[in-house]
Structure 1
Amino acid sequence: MKKFIIIGIISLFCTIPSTAQGKKEGREKIKTLKIAYITEQLQLTTGEAQKFWPVYNAYDEEQHSLRRSYRFTLKQAIKENESIDKLSENESKKLISLKLSTDKKLNESQEDFTKKIAQIISANKIIKLQIAEIEFGRNLMRKYKHKKSDSKN
């Protein structure tokens, strides 16, 4: 039964819109699929789910925001200088420092999140969550690569 659900979730990746307008819809669809996948993998009780998802969603948004902010700054610096090769040594050092700072914030956010959810779910389920996130990402990338190679043929 689990295999059918997982296969169903993965097969839905094919329907993710690829147009500019559909990007937000695509992200929402991916988020919905991720929630379904994690819920199934963790086998959350109703009580756990009610407490878990608000904490997880806040954490996920914080992680996304930190990464988005770094990527934006990096892209802006490259755009302003026309290419990576034209960045000055000082600008490059600032970007490296920003990356390290962002990574530190991401790690602190993850530690804080882990402490919060440890009060909601067991340590075993926290490990299952970490594995589920990795597997979901891998499945998503695998499906994306497969879809991309199909469109080239």
Structure 2
Amino acid sequence: MSDQIRPAAAEDTPAVRAVTEAAYHRYIERIGVVPLPVQADHAANVAAGRVFVTGTPVVGVLVLVPEADHLFLESIAVHPDAHGTGIGRRLLRFVETYAAERGLGEIRLYTNALMWENQKLYTRYGYELMERRADGPYDRLHYRKRLTD
């Protein structure tokens, strides 16, 4: 399996969709709605250069959106078959490098309040909870990580 994290190409779109669906599937019953990353227009995100993948076959997916003053981590997904292999850590390190290379000193993301595994992970990797906010049917915890002081 390739350790390289690379921009997704159009031919990766089915794998991006499959990994995202597999990663988020377990949360559907718990949160009572389909997570937004599952509903995303994967082809449009790939075409816009927002998606990065790792693995052959693809087992890790990132969706990154550079903003004026921060990088928004829209989605991070690791296929359940690859849990515990360090892919999530590598993807999070890549996000930091990607932001820094673009002069963005902060990464922002949100996760559903019922996805407690994510809360532990983000806190462990230096993200701080900024606020809890409902957005329609989604109860979200908003996090940030400052890369510069």
* Higher share in helix: 1
What band does the TM-score fall into relative to the shorter chain?
Answer: under 0.3
Higher RCO structure, 1 or 2 (CA under 8 Å, sep 6+): 1
* Higher share in strand: 2
TM-score when scaled to structure 2? 0.27
TM-score when scaled to structure 1? 0.27
Point out the structure with max Rg over C-alpha: 1
